[in-house]
């Protein structure tokens, strides 16, 4: 099984390339913990989706730390990697979104795979459950690790989350809310200058998905539609979100998505002010023996 890690984000809100910020008690990166947990769960290959200009930086830092424990490959989220007949909007610097990022890894992935963000801490149980599902998944059988909303917000600004609805253990709807905050009156999202409350126990996607390779055909079709219909309306900011594509496939009856309830607690570093909280958690987890001192030594 393959772990695909989306690491091409610019980290603009954090103020730096947070994927390689040494935040653990012995200089570990958040991405190191995801890889360690995934290997423990049975994943045997990692594909990093990065900017091509960051290749040597990633190879010298992250890659060399883990390549003796797991097979490592790189895929590039590039402005030139688009379906035939399409081009990147002139003057745009923002990547085209998570759906495009995963599609860019299509040549490096041959088996069932998980997808995660590079700057989120998902917890080992999430990888264990996704790995268990993927061992028997076929064609359009996908999965998602579900997290409780109140455990995924920060006091230091807004976050983007996929808010989910389910029937039994199956995902029926995921709506991407790109501006969710902890307000004085509770958790709410902002859309078109209107605040709407969200229940704190809402189930949300943290971009921890499990797919079979059939998703790449769906991604290509969805990407073409996005490039043709949506991007021209907002060429500087429109994004092709992975949850949107999954929703379209559910609606079309092309896939099912099992929502895996995880006991793991999510941590993230969206803003620089989130860093001390994350560092304290990792220090405590190491002291308690959950993680060894020096993950890949």
SS (H, E, C) 132-143: HHHCCCCCCEEE
pLDDT of residue 10: 46
* Cα separation, 10 vs 32, whole angstroms: 19
* Cα separation, 173 vs 250, whole angstroms: 8
Nearest by Cα to 34 from 13, 60, 5: 5
Range with the lowest mean pLDDT among 13-27, 73-87, 181-195?
13-27
CA angle, residues 86, 97, 188, in degrees to nearest 5: 140
Q: How far apart are the first and last CA of the chain?
A: 23
pTM of the model: 0.88
pLDDT of residue 270: 75
Element containing residue 174 per DSSP (H, E) = strand 170-183
pLDDT of residue 14: 40
Any idea where the domains of the chain sit in the sequence?
2-10+18-146+205-287
Cβ atoms < 10 Å from Cβ of 130: 33
pLDDT of residue 274: 85
Query: Each residue of 190-234: pLDDT tens digit?
Result: 999 999 999 998 888 888 999 999 999 999 999 999 999 999 999
Reading the block at residue 100, the tokens are 């495009």
Reading the block at residue 32, the tokens are 């190191």
Give CATH superfamily name and number for 2-10+18-146+205-287.
Answer: Spore Coat Polysaccharide Biosynthesis Protein SpsA; Chain A (3.90.550.10)
- For residue 296, what pLDDT band results from cuts at 50, 70 and 90? confident
pLDDT of residue 17: 57
pLDDT of residue 12: 46
Q: Tokens 């085209």 label which residue?
A: 96
Q: Tokens 């998905």 label which residue?
A: 209
* Cα separation, 47 vs 101, whole angstroms: 12
Instruction: Please check whether residue 240 is in contact with residue 222, taking contact to mean a CB–CB distance below 8 angstroms.
Output: yes
Report the mean per-residue pLDDT for the chain.
90
Higher-confidence residue of 154 and 15: namely: 154
Residues 6+ apart with CB under 8 A from 168: none
Higher-confidence residue of 17 and 287: namely: 287
């Amino acid at each position: 099984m393959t772990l695909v890690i989306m690491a091409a984000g610019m980290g603009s809100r954090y103020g730096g390339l947070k994927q390689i910020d040494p935040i653990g008690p012995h200089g570990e990166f958040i991405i190191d913990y995801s890889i360690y947990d995934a290997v423990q769960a049975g994943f045997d290959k990692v594909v990093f989706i990065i900017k091509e200009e960051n290749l040597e930086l990633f190879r010298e830092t992250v890659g060399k730390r883990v390549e003796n424990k797991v097979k490592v490959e790189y895929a590039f989220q590039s402005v030139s990697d688009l379906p035939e007949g399409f081009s990147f909007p002139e003057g745009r610097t923002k990547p085209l979104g998570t759906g495009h990022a995963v599609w860019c890894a299509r040549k490096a992935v041959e088996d069932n795979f998980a997808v995660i963000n590079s700057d989120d801490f998902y917890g080992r149980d999430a990888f264990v459950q996704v790995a268990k599902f993927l061992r028997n998944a076929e064609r359009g059988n996908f999965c998602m690790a579900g997290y409780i909303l109140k455990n995924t917000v920060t006091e230091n600004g807004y976050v983007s989350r996929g808010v989910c609805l389910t029937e039994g253990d199956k995902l029926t709807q995921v709506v991407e809310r790109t501006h969710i905050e902890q307000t004085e009156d509770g958790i709410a999202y902002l859309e078109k200058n209107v605040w709407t409350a969200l229940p704190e126990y809402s189930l949300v996607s943290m971009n921890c998905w499990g797919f079979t390779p059939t998703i790449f055909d769906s991604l290509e079709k969805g990407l073409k539609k996005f490039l043709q219909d949506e991007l021209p309306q907002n060429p500087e900011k429109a994004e092709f979100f992975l949850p949107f594509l999954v929703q379209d496939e559910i609606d079309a009856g092309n896939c099912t998505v099992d929502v895996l309830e995880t006991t793991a607690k999510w941590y993230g570093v969206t803003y620089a002010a989130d860093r001390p909280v994350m560092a304290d958690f990792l220090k405590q987890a190491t002291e308690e023996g959950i993680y060894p001192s020096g993950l890949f030594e």
